[in-house]
Amino acid sequence: QVQLVESGGDSVQTGGSLTLSCAASGSTYGIYCMTWFRQAPGKEREGVAIIYTGSGGTAYTDSVKGRFTISRDKAKNTLYLQMNSLKPEDTAMYYCAATKFSSGGSWLNPGRYNYWGQGTQVTVSS
């Protein structure tokens, strides 16, 4: 099993920055990719950014491109999400997710991931 624990959520004003962290522990060997999702009240969970642990390749959903950066510290087994130029529409609970499988469809599909953290709240006020 893999345990994921997010931290770093906070309340900030529009234009502010935050860095989220996701500490992974347990049987982390073989994780194929790690992804940040977010879910706002009344909305579906949406993929924000992914990093592939082997290649280090990344991808972002269009609404955060140029503002968010996903990264990973292998030695610390920690995933990060640097968020700049935050907007009110970024307000959501942010989750990190991981899978050891390379197949399963789009990285944006929450069903692809079998390990999830408990979430950390980000609130952006105007």
Work out the mean pLDDT of the chain and round it to a whole number: 97
Assess whether pLDDT exceeds 80 at residue 104. no
Whole-number percent of the chain with pLDDT over 90? 97
> Phi first, then psi: what are they for 91, rounded to 5°?
-60, 125
What is the pLDDT, as a whole number, of residue 122? 98
Three-class DSSP category at 85: coil
Among residues 44, 19, 2, the alpha carbon closest in space to that of 120 is found at: 19
> pLDDT digit string (tens) for 25-84?
999 999 999 999 999 999 999 999 999 999 999 999 999 999 999 999 999 999 999 999
Mean pLDDT (whole number) for 106-119? 95
Residue 103: band (very low, low, confident or very high) from pLDDT cuts 50, 70, 90: confident
Residue 103 CB neighbour total at 10 angstroms: 7
**DSSP code of 100?**
S
**What is the spatial distance between Cα 124 and Cα 92, in angstroms, rounded to a whole number?**
9
CB count, 10 Å around CB of 88?
11
Please provide residue 116's backbone torsions phi and psi, each rounded to the nearest 5 degrees: -135, 145
